[in-house]
Amino acid sequence: MRLPDCVVILTGASGGIGLALAEQLCAAGARVLAVSRQMGDLAGVLKRYPQHLTWHSADLRNPSGRDQVVQQARALGGVNVLINAAGVNRFALLDQLDEQALDELLDINLKAPLHLTRACLPLLRAQPRALVVNVGSTYGSIGYPGYATYCASKFALRGFSEALRRELADTSVNVLYAAPRATRTPMNSSAAMALNHALKVGMDDPVDVARAVLDAVQSERSELYLGWPEKLFVRLNSLLPGVVDRALRKQLPMIRRHVDGHAKESLK
């Protein structure tokens, strides 16, 4: 798809990867309905691209918030791209999360994109060519200690993307699943950043992730995995999960130290 021909609903548009996507889409000539609860740094993008960006405040956990987004899209004359980029993360062991935190993560990472995609399908099907982009994670393919709930949401999002792509195979709508590795965004806690540093995990800038996602959009790919050796680990985990089990077990003491340190800091 050519970016200048795109009319996009973009969720999670005010920070991290979403903000970088908003900037690059507008710079390429796309029209963007940017959705977030707060405008934040998106105000700068709106100032630079007032003809290309429309901002709408919505809580996508609520049916009314999602309905408002669809109504705004209809007011634009329809859309041909939906990018589900909104997400939250919690670096914590499962028994350290209360029920509210667990539900919020699943509501935002999984239920909101499923509901919004379902609501937008009539608009997308009305276009000669259309695309749903689900921004997942490497942790949608590799279960990692300290991220059990986050992994649950992203594994499910990956499965949803694959099944929906096959479900829509005889329509004009394609589905792209994009899986970034660790990315420098405010979504990561200081403890998560410290663990990545201790393990010498490569981290990408949101601008580079957004560029890769939009390259995949233009080349009409169905899947995008970012980072090396993360791509290798995804394949290895699929073929030889026991090898990954043993490797991650060696990291458990360090992971627990960082998780516990974060938990104690949160209680102060």
List alpha helices for 78-221, DSSP H: 99-106, 112-125, 148-167, 190-198, 206-218
| Element of type H or E holding 176 | strand 173-179
Q: Is the pLDDT of residue 26 over 80?
A: yes
Residue 177 appears among annotated catalytic residues: no
Residue 251, SS3? helix
The per-residue pLDDT for 187 is 82
Q: What is the pTM of this model?
A: 0.94
In degrees and rounded to multiples of 5, residue 82 shows phi and psi of: -120, 120
Q: Which of 147, 150, 177, 225 is catalytic?
A: 150
pLDDT digits (tens, 9 = 90+) for 38-59: 999 999 999 999 999 999 999 9
CA distance 169 to 158: 17
Binning pLDDT at 50, 70 and 90, where does residue 263 land?
low
pLDDT digits (tens, 9 = 90+) for 133-179: 999 999 999 999 999 999 999 999 999 999 999 999 999 999 999 99
The per-residue pLDDT for 267 is 39
The per-residue pLDDT for 268 is 41
Domains of the chain (ranges; CATH) run 3-267 (3.40.50.720)
